[in-house]
Structure 1
Amino acid sequence: MYQALYRVWRPKSFDDMVGQETIANTLKNSVLTGKISHAYLFSGPRGTGKTSAAKILAKAVNCLQSQDGQPCNACEICTAANDGMLGDIIEIDAASNNGVDEIRDIRDKSRYAPTRARYKVYIIDEVHMLSIGAFNALLKTLEEPTQNVIFILATTEVHKIPATILSRVQRYDFKRINEQDIQNHVKHILQTQHQAYDEKAVALIARMANGGMRDALSLLDQALSYGNGTITLETVANITGAVSQEQLFSYVNAVGAKAGSLAMEQLYNILANGKTPMRLVEELLVFSKDVLLSRMDETDTRFSDVALIDSAFFYRMIDVLSQTQQQLKQNVQQDLYVEVMTMQLVQMDSRINTLPNGSASNNELVSNDVIVQLEQRIEQLENKLRALESNAVQASVVPTYEVKKTPQQKNPTDFVVNTQRIFEVLSQATREDKQKIEDDWFDILSCLSAQRKAQLGRSKVLAASATSVIIGFENGFLCGLTMNDKALRQELSEHAMRIIQHPLEIECLPIGQWQDIRTQFIQAKKAGQFSAPTSQESVELDIQHEEKTQEDEVVTQATSLFGNIVEVMED
């Protein structure tokens, strides 16, 4: 029967343990000097050698021909232990034997002397799964250990072990095995089996193993089966779900060049190949980190294809990726979040450097860009100051309530509400129009492309008139993104014409500002700024009804306290 590679290549001596040299040497010396404890605790991530070390230690303390603290793997004790036929080495899975009765049974049987070996060894795996009562039953045995009995506890969650247990055992913390050690061991196995392999494929296996040798050998087993004995980068990428370097380069170059359509196309291609959004984010984080590290070494040319993208872009990209990673862990609509992430990356300043090497430093490029922005900002402020002075002269003659017209913002992050246009829509808004748009809003959005549907998917209809609609977003970024996209607003209007029989003009507003805007609208109406009649079911009546209800409650409470002496005075 075929055996998996991780079983065939399980370490049989301390020297065979990979990546845990300190622990191996310590255990070997304790056997060599005879300083053997009655209880050990091996903790660490999965696949790092805890159970293997426990079995090696159990053989070493009982080996008849031990040399330098190592089991010989040739005597009858070692042979029986390797075959799982030695009754004095007992392996117990605490996940399925976690009750008080099972531990009491172990305690009672541990009193009997070993039959063949020098020590009776109990290996309890996943010991953190024991109940509190079971731990208490085990504690008594550890306090007063029986002669010639050794307990070896193994766990991946040492924080769940009671402190009373930890204080009575020798604790060894197994670390994650570094990628280079895993690569060397995988190459050794492939060379021993005379298998052809690609260096990049082995490196990918080591990276995907995440410090676990067992995971690495399991991936290697799959790759050998999938590739008919040949290990290639494409084979490993297919079985692990990893994103290829070519796809990562294409995606990063697209977002760096602000090519939104191309970036979304690259994203959909990656997802269509079966790569999960979480895997994509993890790969992009590693890619960004590697790019930044490579730029510290002038001889490293692995990432020359993204050399024109400034390092500052990758730092900001890591921030966006980290935020998206947290959101993916808490939500099920993962595709939506990576789509929004892509739009955010496209909107970021990539600072593509087209100057030749040595002509200017990144700091000089940033400084020049900042100077240009400051000059533009100063010019805008001067224009606003002149406009305010002009308005002040007019205001001294005839007092008016002026609604400032906000210029269209080019940067979505600097979105400012067009208050005058919002007021014009509200002056004609009715409940019937709003309800009609709400009923058909999903159908209108379903006609859009996937990218634009994702952009408007979380929008909300706030108010509507016969020809216009005000939609709200959770933040100003999406408002600016929508208002700056004339093609999107035109497409929405065309779909509305087809579905509700008339075009729609779109206005956007952050939901957090909706209440303030409505209050300002009522004040503008009272000031006579808008003379257009409003329906009896308009937005104004909604607000007045809320205010009237609050006033009635105050009057009722005052009357109950002071009686008929209360006098209600109108403003």
Structure 2
Amino acid sequence: MAYQALYRVWRPQTFFDVVGQEHVTKTLQNALLQQKISHAYLFSGPRGTGKTSAAKILAKAINCEHAPTAEPCNECAACHGITNGTIPDVLEFDAASNSRVEEMRDVLDKVKFAPTAVKYKVYIIDEVHMLSISAFNALLKTLEEPPKHVIFILATTEPHKIPLTIISRCQRFDFRRITASSIVDRMKLIADESGIDCEERALQMIARCAEGGMRDALSLLDQAISYSQERVTLEDALTVTGAVSQGFLNKLARAIKEKNVVQGLETLNELLFHGKDPARFIEDLILFYRDMLLYKTAPQLEESLERVMLDDEFRQMAEEVPIEEIYQLIDFLNKIQQDMRWTNHPRIFLEVAIVKLCQLETAPPQLQQSGAIEQLLSKIDQLEQELQQLKTMGVSQTAHEAVPQPQKPVHRASRNAFQPPLGKINEVLKQATKSDLNLVKANWGEMLGNLLKSHAALLNEAEPVAASATAIIIKFKHEMICQMAMNRHDFLEAVAAGLFKLTSKRFLLLGVPEEQWLTIRENFLHDSYNRDDGSSEQYSSEEEPHIAEAKKLFGAEFVEIID
């Protein structure tokens, strides 16, 4: 007899053999014992999780000579005939190769005839989502009013492609991905029964590469048995799956941690020399750091680890790498994985990526600010203000004229707080006119409507507050949004281009948070009306006479102009 693959030899013949789907098998067994059989079932879930096997077991249990029973006996003529496929009343229909309405009508025409060999006719339609719309319509009428002796079992991996009118007439059971531990236990049983010697680490590697599918796991095990000599080892499993051994990943992670470019490139070259796929290597490295993050944050969830096995070297590495660095590494590797899809030279791309990883400057943890640091930051603020005033008033003035007026210090929340360009903002305020601001405001709404939604969202709580012939000052309600907007070159270019299209003027965009804008504007007005270089007259000439008079009477710091 010709050799049969392991997944065919060890195909489940009872509900007990269906691994990892207890929520489905228990419900079906209770329905069989209580004789509450539905006319239509829908089995959905990932590939290789037991949908078709469960459908055949259900067909055998319904037609078993010992029914009602929770399990088919697999000894009577009905069970043997359904297992061998010799009973015509149980039909397995492949919708992927028979998707036309003609094939479906040919099958449905025979539904009305009574079964000849068993009690119920069972139609198992595999990959039912592949049926055409016309075929679904033909099936719908039969599902709506089926004969009492007919049961439909629909199996699919993509239930969202099935019309809701079909789904609503079926009892739906969702099959889950099988856990790695359940797959390992099943493979151990098969290996023991077959007399195959396997390392447990090899079975664990195969189970994790199967991604929750028992059929994929047994196919990989079959391939590893053929490749191995007398015993299936971890190296055999790594070879047939194309995965990277954890020893190489630990070695590469050590090189990245120690900023050792030479060791990192040597490890990469060794991996590529053994024929490893670059895309699979990047995926394994991402999963390696993902498992490291889970191990550091939730060590009790060992079952959630997809790629690594908890050896001493991995545990030591996890203790040395801080969580902030893992976040940064995963973000960088995700970008590398996306960029690799479009490159024709994956080897060069990987080598450059390894060099960047070894030279990546990781962000240190947030430091607790001490009194000395606060004092230093305050001194930096004071020096920045004095330097700005010297630039504004001119270095040719006398020492008396150059003494800065006392200003309210700008509050700095943290070292990462957004710092607006005070020099550029003050220059814009010097040249700002009301006509320029009105021109921008008149076209602001139309410009927002022409932007992408992602760009327009940044300006939801922002408005132009001052404008000159060449620049605009935009006030943002939140500092974080302001910083995000000013750091995005695509956003700045889109807004500038939108305004240019409407006003024929190319504006420079300057952002400032609302809290800082009040202080900057007050300081500018205070400086403009207290120095004698003539700039105050130049600035005030653009103002309305009553506004200028009010500032003279009460002081500029107490006057707020509201349009």
Deviation of residue 341 (structure 1)? 3.7
Q: What TM-score results when the alignment is normalised by the length of structure 1? A: 0.62
User: Which residue of structure 1 aligns with residue 320 of structure 2?
Assistant: 308
User: Which residue of structure 1 aligns with residue 121 of structure 2?
Assistant: 120
Q: Distance in 2 between matches of 1:51 and 1:332?
A: 41
Q: In structure 2, do the counterparts of structure 1 residues 137 and 330 end up closer, same or farther at CA, with 3 Å as the change threshold?
A: farther
Equivalent of residue 322 in structure 1, options 301, 313, 334:
334
Q: Distance in 2 between matches of 1:286 and 1:372?
A: 42
Deviation of residue 117 (structure 1)? 0.8
Q: In structure 2, do the counterparts of structure 1 residues 511 and 127 end up closer, same or farther at CA, with 3 Å as the change threshold?
A: closer
Q: Distance in 1 between matches of 2:492 and 2:348?
A: 25
User: Which residue of structure 1 aligns with residue 450 of structure 2?
Assistant: none
Deviation of residue 382 (structure 1)? 8.6
After superposition, the C-alpha distances for 1:163-183 in whole angstroms (9 at most, x for unaligned) are 010011111110000111001
User: Which residue of structure 2 aligns with residue 367 of structure 1?
Assistant: 367
Does 56-65 or 367-376 show the bigger shift?
A: 367-376
Contact 2:40–2:170, Cα closer than 8 Å, also in 1 = yes
User: Which residue of structure 1 aligns with residue 482 of structure 2?
Assistant: none
Partner amino acid for 1:230? R
After superposition, the C-alpha distances for 1:1-27 in whole angstroms (9 at most, x for unaligned) are 111000011000111110001111111
Equivalent positions of 1:494-505 (< 5 A) are none
User: Which residue of structure 2 aligns with residue 458 of structure 1?
Assistant: none
Q: Distance in 2 between matches of 1:87 and 1:72?
A: 20
SS of the aligned residue for 1:40 comes to: strand
Deviation of residue 83 (structure 1)? 1.4
Equivalent positions of 1:125-140 (< 5 A) are 125-140=126-141
Q: Distance in 1 between matches of 2:361 and 2:372?
A: 15
User: Which residue of structure 1 aligns with residue 358 of structure 2?
Assistant: 346
Q: In structure 2, do the counterparts of structure 1 residues 370 and 264 end up closer, same or farther at CA, with 3 Å as the change threshold?
A: farther
User: Which residue of structure 1 aligns with residue 146 of structure 2?
Assistant: 145
Partner amino acid for 2:224? A
Contact 1:222–1:239, Cα closer than 8 Å, also in 2 = yes
SS of the aligned residue for 1:146 comes to: coil
User: Which residue of structure 1 aligns with residue 71 of structure 2?
Assistant: 70
After superposition, the C-alpha distances for 1:207-236 in whole angstroms (9 at most, x for unaligned) are 001000000000100111100241111100
User: Which residue of structure 2 aligns with residue 276 of structure 1?
Assistant: 277
Deviation of residue 115 (structure 1)? 1.1
After superposition, the C-alpha distances for 1:396-435 in whole angstroms (9 at most, x for unaligned) are 49xxxxxxxxxxxxxxxxxxxxxxxxxxxxxxxxxxxxxx
Equivalent positions of 1:60-99 (< 5 A) are 60-66=61-67, 68-99=69-100
User: Which residue of structure 2 aligns with residue 564 of structure 1?
Assistant: none
Q: In structure 2, do the counterparts of structure 1 residues 11 and 370 end up closer, same or farther at CA, with 3 Å as the change threshold?
A: farther
Q: Distance in 1 between matches of 2:342 and 2:212?
A: 25
Q: In structure 2, do the counterparts of structure 1 residues 297 and 169 end up closer, same or farther at CA, with 3 Å as the change threshold?
A: closer
Partner amino acid for 1:195? I
Deviation of residue 196 (structure 1)? 1.9
User: Which residue of structure 2 aligns with residue 440 of structure 1?
Assistant: none
Q: Distance in 2 between matches of 1:223 and 1:374?
A: 63
Equivalent positions of 1:469-484 (< 5 A) are none
Q: In structure 2, do the counterparts of structure 1 residues 308 and 134 end up closer, same or farther at CA, with 3 Å as the change threshold?
A: same
User: Which residue of structure 2 aligns with residue 457 of structure 1?
Assistant: none
* Residue 2 in structure 1 maps to residue 3 in structure 2: yes
User: Which residue of structure 1 aligns with residue 12 of structure 2?
Assistant: 11
User: Which residue of structure 2 aligns with residue 52 of structure 1?
Assistant: 53
SS of the aligned residue for 1:90 comes to: strand
Q: Distance in 1 between matches of 2:174 and 2:491?
A: 51
After superposition, the C-alpha distances for 1:306-353 in whole angstroms (9 at most, x for unaligned) are 54332321121122223333444566655455445434422333589x
Contact 2:62–2:68, Cα closer than 8 Å, also in 1 = no
Q: Distance in 2 between matches of 1:141 and 1:329?
A: 47
Q: Distance in 2 between matches of 1:128 and 1:194?
A: 40
Q: In structure 2, do the counterparts of structure 1 residues 30 and 306 end up closer, same or farther at CA, with 3 Å as the change threshold?
A: closer
Q: Distance in 1 between matches of 2:244 and 2:15?
A: 37
Contact 1:253–1:306, Cα closer than 8 Å, also in 2 = no
Q: Distance in 2 between matches of 1:12 and 1:190?
A: 18
Equivalent positions of 1:213-228 (< 5 A) are 213-228=214-229
SS of the aligned residue for 1:109 comes to: coil
Q: Distance in 2 between matches of 1:375 and 1:265?
A: 48
Contact 2:64–2:72, Cα closer than 8 Å, also in 1 = yes
SS of the aligned residue for 1:81 comes to: helix
Q: Distance in 1 between matches of 2:83 and 2:372?
A: 74
Count of residues in correspondence between the two structures: 391
Q: Distance in 1 between matches of 2:75 and 2:371?
A: 78
Contact 1:258–1:346, Cα closer than 8 Å, also in 2 = yes
Q: Which runs of 5+ in 2 are unaligned?
A: 301-309, 398-488, 497-563
User: Which residue of structure 2 aligns with residue 203 of structure 1?
Assistant: 204
Contact 1:45–1:176, Cα closer than 8 Å, also in 2 = yes
Q: In structure 2, do the counterparts of structure 1 residues 51 and 371 end up closer, same or farther at CA, with 3 Å as the change threshold?
A: farther
Q: Distance in 2 between matches of 1:163 and 1:80?
A: 34
Q: What TM-score results when the alignment is normalised by the length of structure 2? A: 0.63
Contact 2:46–2:175, Cα closer than 8 Å, also in 1 = yes
Aligned-residue RMSD, C-alpha:
3.3
User: Which residue of structure 1 aligns with residue 249 of structure 2?
Assistant: 248
User: Which residue of structure 2 aligns with residue 35 of structure 1?
Assistant: 36
User: Which residue of structure 2 aligns with residue 408 of structure 1?
Assistant: none
Q: Distance in 2 between matches of 1:371 and 1:265?
A: 47
Q: In structure 2, do the counterparts of structure 1 residues 20 and 256 end up closer, same or farther at CA, with 3 Å as the change threshold?
A: same
User: Which residue of structure 1 aligns with residue 511 of structure 2?
Assistant: none
Partner amino acid for 2:110? K
Equivalent positions of 1:182-193 (< 5 A) are 182-193=183-194
Contact 2:46–2:213, Cα closer than 8 Å, also in 1 = yes
SS of the aligned residue for 1:165 comes to: helix
Equivalent positions of 1:457-536 (< 5 A) are none
User: Which residue of structure 1 aligns with residue 107 of structure 2?
Assistant: 106
SS of the aligned residue for 2:113 comes to: coil
Q: Distance in 2 between matches of 1:319 and 1:37?
A: 49
Q: In structure 2, do the counterparts of structure 1 residues 298 and 70 end up closer, same or farther at CA, with 3 Å as the change threshold?
A: closer
Q: Which runs of 5+ in 1 are unaligned?
A: 353-362, 398-509, 517-571
Question: Percent sequence identity over matched residues?
Answer: 46
Contact 1:320–1:341, Cα closer than 8 Å, also in 2 = no
Does 325-334 or 284-293 show the bigger shift?
A: 325-334
Q: Distance in 1 between matches of 2:370 and 2:351?
A: 30
Q: Distance in 1 between matches of 2:378 and 2:349?
A: 37
Partner amino acid for 1:322? N
Equivalent positions of 1:419-434 (< 5 A) are none
Partner amino acid for 2:244? V
Contact 1:313–1:348, Cα closer than 8 Å, also in 2 = no
